[in-house]
Amino acid sequence: MSIINVRMNEKEKELIKKFAETRGSSMSDVMKQAVFSLIEDEIDLDIYNQAILRENEKTYTHNQILKELEIE
């Protein structure tokens, strides 16, 4: 497994440490989850932006999908 060093000040470290403790996780797991969540959000945004640029591409809002699936 690889190791990555992240530089931060003491306040940032303590915030992450306390957050991890409330989740019953390690600082490493919390930071890894945060990074992958950010990557996933960016990929989703890129896909959305590409769909908007295509002509005649039908898009749906979150609420429209819920209604269609009768999950409201």
**Structure confidence by residue, pLDDT tens digits, 59-70:** 788 999 999 898
Domain boundaries, the chain: 28-72
Q: How many CB atoms lie within 10 A of CB 2?
A: 3
Nearest to 27 by CA among 43, 4, 57: 4
Interval 19-44: pLDDT, tens:
999 999 999 999 999 999 999 999 99
Both tokens assigned to 39: 């990557």
Where residue 50 falls among pLDDT bands split at 50, 70, 90?
confident
Which has more pLDDT, 24 or 48? 24
